[in-house]
Structure 1
Amino acid sequence: MGRHLKAGERVVKTEALHGGITAEMRRLSVATWDGGVRDLVLRTFVAPLFVERAEEMLNREAGVLSLLAGTGVAAPGPVAVDPTAAQCEYPSLLMTHLAGRTVLEDEGLEARIPLLARQLVAIHALRPAERPRQYEAWTTADAIVPPPGADAAVWAAAIDVIRKPAPPYEGRFLHRDFHPGNVLFDVPPPSLAGPRITGVVDWVQTSWGPVDLDVAHCSTNLALLHGPAWGLRFAEAYEEAGGVLASAPSERLYWRLLDALAFAAGVQWVARPWQEAGRAELTTRAVEERLDAYVTALMDALG
């Protein structure tokens, strides 16, 4: 990696960054030739499942980060990529570091929701010269196993909704993994100005598809992190920010459930980074109960 640093620079400190599910993240503090320090971030795929797909995923993210430069959407800049581990121990991507931090606590959420919505509207407004890959659904009707204690009748009805063909949609540029854990905030003391977004990270899943799916993914995360009502609120905030969702309730329900039901297979993987970030009360069981309540709320609101 040293050859990608500027002359006279050296790494003086590394720090593990928590919150990721698919990759290990480290902040590298680099001493500069003039006595200063600048930070970089290294994404490394270590788990065998993701090492197998690392070349495609890292090349895609590096390309998207290059595309985002100068668009007004704050994202890291690519520095170097080693997708096949030709030079590093594991497949890796080196990128610039963004100021700010993820904010996962309940306090102040009402002020952050409109900011998240406006940021997602801005992402969907991007018109790249080259479209990213087509979106992929992360579950199928036959693959879903409801969490323990879930309302069997509600889940059976919800699964039947996504068994139908996908509704027609107008494709847009999607982050595809947009949620509070991938958004950085500057949060000043309450007596000063309100929070602001400093950047969006983790562009590995970027794709082309319905904006409803990006809204659905953030909504599910908000429902599990903060309660089902906040999952329902985010779609309203997205429209208030100028975003346009599917017009028919049945179409909105399809995309929301396509995302929410996919969480049933991996609740423990979602809960773990939240617990590491200080939300110890979000046990696997607690998140499963919120997922069940959210699916029920969706069926009540849109079904």
Structure 2
Amino acid sequence: MTNHDEAAAVRPLTLAWVCRHLEVGERIVRTEALHGGITAEVRRLTIGTRDGGSRDLVLRSFVDPFYLGHAEDWLNREAGALTWLAGSGVPAPALVAVDPTAAHCEYPSLLMTHLAGRTVLDDEGLETRVPLLARQLVAIHAVRPAERPREYVALTTADTVVVPKGADAAAWATAIDVIRKPAPPYEGRFLHRDFQPGNVLFDVPSSRSAGVRITGVVDWAATSWGPADLDVAHCSTNLALLHGPAWGLRFAEAYQEAGGVLATAASERLYWQVRDGLACSEEVRWVARSWREAGRAELTTRAVEERLDSYVTAVMNALG
């Protein structure tokens, strides 16, 4: 029997749309909100199958007015990416259906398969997970899609950076000057564009003797074409804010140890690393909130601002 209270959490038109994409005899028996994202409302749908079993799907809907203007583009890009990734060896969800303009749903939505595993944002075991993240990103950058996604977009400018209160003013001024310059030349790669621990699923066995492994990479809405350095910089920034600046610096090393290729010149690597760190300055509040909702209660906005300041300063010292 359908749990009507749970199923009602999915809006009526969207519920009907989802049901049209189920197999004969299947029904939604439960829904569960998935937390940790910033731009979209995400739910896991448990589907009762005709043989008495069950399977899970994931429904992603853009409901926030702030993001609705981007929804059509993001959902089309995600649908394209999931199509290209099928059979690539990268553990991504399979596309079930997409309604990017809300022609059938209350809000623009995408339906995809659910992947096993969970996000892991705590410090324990990080020394094992970082090399796995690096190897996975190298594999993503090796994908050669049938159709090249659009060129990356860097929205942050030198004039929109938000310098944290109490930050090292000299280091930030120098960093901001770095991104006033034109972007360095680069060899294009297939980019996830939001590759970071919150978008990677792990199987973490209870036995420490068993191996940790990545089971999935999700949230492909920002898929782009651009420099590998940009994806590496984004993951580095997130690791620095989650676990401390040293881990942000370590990720670039791990990526190269895994066979990834970054810009040869330190000045070029500095550009991308700094650009992503400064981009994060504009959304610290939302990033910190999503991590607190995911269980990292100590990551207040102020705590994340302090780590960002330390990280930007560390990058400038290492590469500047």
> Same fold judged by TM-score > 0.5?
yes
Letter in 1 for 2:78: E
In structure 2, the residue matched to 1:92 is 109
Deviation at 1:48, TM superposition (A): 0.8
Q: Paired residue for 1:54, among 49, 57, 71?
A: 71
Does structure 2 conserve the Cα–Cα contact (< 8 Å) formed by 1:21 and 1:273? yes
SS at match of 1:178: coil
1:206 aligns with 2:223: yes
Match for residue 136 of structure 1? 153
| CA-CA distance at 1:191 after TM superposition | 3.2
Within 5 A, what are the aligned runs for 1:89-168?
89-168=106-185
User: What amino acid maps onto 1:56 in structure 2?
Assistant: D
Structure 1 equivalent of residue 305 of structure 2: 288
Correspondent of 1:187 among 188, 201, 204: 204
Residue of structure 1 equivalent to 2:293: 276
- SS state at 1:273 partner: helix
Q: Which one-letter code corresponds to 1:155 in the other structure?
A: W
Worse-matched range after superposition: 131-140 or 210-219 = 131-140
1:254 is aligned to 271
Q: Is the 8 A contact 1:219 1:231 kept in 2?
A: yes
Q: Distance in 2 between matches of 1:245 and 1:124?
A: 11
Please state how far the C-alpha of 1:145 moved relative to its aligned partner: 2.1
**Which consecutive segments of 4 or more residues in structure 1 shift more than 4 A?**
none
Q: Sequence identity of aligned pairs in percent? A: 78
Partner Cα distance (2:87, 2:191) in 1: 18
The one-letter code matched in structure 2 to 1:80 is A
**Counterpart residue identity of residue 188, structure 1:** P
Counterpart pick for 1:224 among 223, 241, 246: 241
Tell me how far apart the structure 1 counterparts of residues 103 and 145 of structure 2 sit (CA, whole Å): 30
**Shift, 1:270, TM fit:** 0.3
Moved more, 80-89 or 222-231: 80-89
Tell whether the 8 Å contact from 1:58 to 1:93 is kept in structure 2 after alignment: yes
Unmatched runs of 5 consecutive residues or more in structure 1: none
What does residue 239 of structure 1 align with? 256
Note the C-alpha offset of 1:184: 0.3
- 1:59 positional shift: 1.2
Alignment deviations for residues 70-114 of structure 1 (CA, whole Å, 9 cap, x no partner): 000010011111111121111100000000000000000000000
Structure 2: distance between partners of 1:147 and 1:198:
36
Give 5+ residue unaligned stretches, structure 2: 1-17
Contact 1:43 1:93 in 2 (8 A): yes
| Amino acid aligned to 1:213 | L
How many residues of Structure 1 are paired with residues of Structure 2 in the alignment?
A: 303
RMSD: 0.7
Measured against aligned partners, the alpha-carbon deviations of 1:147-167 in whole angstroms (never above 9, x if no partner) come to: 111111110000001111111
Please tell me the residue identity of whatever aligns with 1:63.
Answer: G
The residue identity in structure 1 corresponding to 2:179 is I
SS at structure 2 position matched to 1:167? coil
Deviation at 1:120, TM superposition (A): 0.1
- Structure 1 counterpart of 2:26: 9
Separation in structure 1 between the aligned mates of residue 55 and residue 277 of structure 2, nearest angstrom: 39
Partner SS, residue 142 of structure 1? coil
Q: What amino acid maps onto 2:20 in structure 1?
A: R
**Is the aligned partner of 1:20 residue 2:20?**
no
TM-score in terms of structure 1 length? 0.99
Q: Deviations over 1:193-250 (max 9, x none)?
A: 1210001000000000000000000000000000000000000000000001011111
- Aligned partners of 1:230, 1:111: CA distance in 2, in Å? 12
Secondary structure class of the residue paired with 1:52: helix
In the alignment, is residue 298 of structure 1 matched against residue 315 of structure 2? yes
Amino acid corresponding to residue 46 of structure 1 in structure 2: V
In structure 2, distance between residues paired with 1:181 and 1:281: 16
Moved more, 147-156 or 281-290: 147-156
Question: What TM-score, normalized to structure 2?
Answer: 0.94
Match of 1:79 in 2: 96
Name which of 131, 146, 171 aligns with 2:188.
171
Deviation at 1:138, TM superposition (A): 2.9
